[in-house]
Amino acid sequence: MHNVYTVGQINNYIKNMFRQDFLLSSLTVKGEISNCKYHSSGHIYFTLKDGAGAIACVMFRGSRERGLKFQLQEGQQVQVTGSVDVYERDGKYQLYASSIVLDGAGALFERYEKLKKELEERGMFAPEYKQEIPKYIRTLGVVTAPTGAAVRDIINIATRRNPYVQIILYPAIVQGDEAKASIVKGIRTLSEQNVDVIIVGRGGGSIEDLWAFNEEVVAEAIFNCPVPIISAVGHETDTTIADYVADLRAPTPSAAAELAVYEMDLLLQDINDYQNILCRRIEEKISKLKIKSANDRRLLEHLSPQARIREKKMRAAASYEKLEMLMLDKIKGKRHQLDVDIQRLKALSPLEKLNSGFSYVSDENGKNIRKIEQVKEGDKLDIYVSDGIIQSVCLGTSGRNER
């Protein structure tokens, strides 16, 4: 005897079986994506398959925000977390995805985060350990693959900027199991060559391709390297542990070459500019001093003893002239006085008296006779007249009134 069930009943029965299963309510399945369709409703439908089979999957629009960080593509290896449930309308079960990560990436990302945190706590990213990148280098070390765009970009840009910088390449293995040891060896080998700066890097790739740059030994080699290191791993959006430890992070290998190698033309230009500035400064200085010296000279001339001497000389000359004038006046006056005196004296001269008829009488001894009592009879007398002397003898005397 058996019961007859409707389709709905049986599908519902199966759905309940699934729902009660602990494993199916929450699980992670890995496989390759195929038949991926982004529906206009926002839901994503795809099939997850591997060598053994396939399972239908759906991710509803509501889960995408939190559960999917990348664009699903055919052939991707992914891990899908969600629940398996029955879609009653079609009578089929499917995996309802709540989150999808790239396979491998999930585990790697976790390792990355763990190591990053650990190294950060050890201070290996601290700015005080960053070495300065020298501006004018002579030798550049490069640790990267000897083939591919990265090494070409670095060499092209470095030599274009400055063909005189010596580039030493350590041809490293940059992906796969041997990569970390090869990169570490490259850093050590180049630092022993006393290069001025080392670029460590590679071109873009998947997180697995770049993984060597997230290895602890590589981080330590970079941290311990005495030569400043510029990291240049992948594209701008890829940040590896090496980038955090390096003294400087370049977004790409090309950018690393630009950061490491100075432009020769600019240096020559700088030297030239400095020379011009120096010349200009010294010329300015000299012309300023010339002006100052001319000013000082004028000032000094004004204050010099010569100027004072000249001034005194002029005063002296003026005084002299004045004195001379006064003196001449005085002399003239005296001379005039003298003439007057001469006339007066002339008038008083005895000779003049003789000329006008008077005589002068003296005794034998030349003594002037003024009174009668000075002579007696018989005395010899000299009488001076205008043209000579009359020797005479006194015959007698009589007073004025006796005559």
Partner 1 sequence: MAKKSEAKELTIEEAFDAVDEKIKALESEDVSLEDSFNLFKEGMDLLKHCNDSIDKVEKKVQKIMEDGRMEDFE
Nearest residue (CB) to partner 1, 281 versus 376 = 281
Q: Indicate whether 148 belongs to the interface with partner 1 (CB under 8 A).
A: no
User: Cα–Cα distance between 82 and 68 in angstroms, integer?
Assistant: 12
Q: Which stretch binds partner 1 (CB under 8 A): 55-63, 156-164, 203-211, 302-310?
A: 156-164
Q: Indicate whether 289 belongs to the interface with partner 1 (CB under 8 A).
A: yes
* Binding residue for partner 1, selected from 54, 271, 342, 385, defined by CB under 8 A: 271
Nearest residue (CB) to partner 1, 146 versus 350 = 146
The length of the chain in residues reads: 403
CB 229 → partner 1: shortest distance, Å?
A: 16
**Helix 216-224 / helix 179-192 crossing angle, nearest 10 deg:** 10
* Binding residue for partner 1, selected from 16, 35, 166, 337, defined by CB under 8 A: 166
User: Cα–Cα distance between 24 and 28 in angstroms, integer?
Assistant: 9
113 dihedral zone (left: phi>0; alpha: psi -120 to 50; beta): alpha
Total residues binding partner 1 (CB under 8 A) = 35
Q: Indicate whether 367 belongs to the interface with partner 1 (CB under 8 A).
A: no
Q: Within 13 Å and on the Cβ side, how many CA atoms surround 44?
A: 24
Site string for partner 1, 78-117 (x = CB under 8 A): ----------------------------------------
Q: Which of 310, 44, 262, 297 is nearest to 135 (CA)?
A: 262
CB 283 → partner 1: shortest distance, Å?
A: 10
Q: Indicate whether 302 belongs to the interface with partner 1 (CB under 8 A).
A: no
CB 182 → partner 1: shortest distance, Å?
A: 9
Q: Within 13 Å and on the Cβ side, how many CA atoms surround 308?
A: 4
* Binding residue for partner 1, selected from 110, 178, 270, 296, defined by CB under 8 A: 270
Q: Indicate whether 133 belongs to the interface with partner 1 (CB under 8 A).
A: no
Q: Indicate whether 275 belongs to the interface with partner 1 (CB under 8 A).
A: yes
Q: Indicate whether 384 belongs to the interface with partner 1 (CB under 8 A).
A: no
Q: Indicate whether 190 belongs to the interface with partner 1 (CB under 8 A).
A: yes
User: Cα–Cα distance between 178 and 181 in angstroms, integer?
Assistant: 6
Q: Which stretch binds partner 1 (CB under 8 A): 22-30, 75-83, 157-165, 248-256?
A: 157-165
Environment class of 212 (CB within 10 Å of its CB; exposed 0-12, middle 13-18, buried 19+): buried
Nearest residue (CB) to partner 1, 132 versus 402 = 132
Strand locations in 229-278 (E): 229-233, 248-249
* Binding residue for partner 1, selected from 266, 267, 294, 325, defined by CB under 8 A: 267
User: Cα–Cα distance between 345 and 348 in angstroms, integer?
Assistant: 5
Nearest residue (CB) to partner 1, 290 versus 315 = 290
Q: Indicate whether 286 belongs to the interface with partner 1 (CB under 8 A).
A: yes
Q: Indicate whether 5 belongs to the interface with partner 1 (CB under 8 A).
A: no
Q: Indicate whether 383 belongs to the interface with partner 1 (CB under 8 A).
A: no
Q: Indicate whether 226 belongs to the interface with partner 1 (CB under 8 A).
A: no
Nearest residue (CB) to partner 1, 102 versus 227 = 227
Environment class of 199 (CB within 10 Å of its CB; exposed 0-12, middle 13-18, buried 19+): buried
Environment class of 204 (CB within 10 Å of its CB; exposed 0-12, middle 13-18, buried 19+): middle
Q: Indicate whether 274 belongs to the interface with partner 1 (CB under 8 A).
A: yes
Q: Indicate whether 167 belongs to the interface with partner 1 (CB under 8 A).
A: yes
What is the secondary structure of 13-64 as a DSSP string? HHHHHHHH-HHHHSEEEEEEEEEEEE-TTS-EEEEEEETTEEEEEEE-HHHH
Tokens of 219: 């981080």
Rg (CA), the chain: 68
Which residues contribute to the site for partner 1 (CB under 8 A)? Answer: 134-136, 138, 146, 155, 159, 163-171, 185, 189-190, 192-193, 264, 267-268, 270-271, 274-275, 277-278, 281-282, 285-286, 289
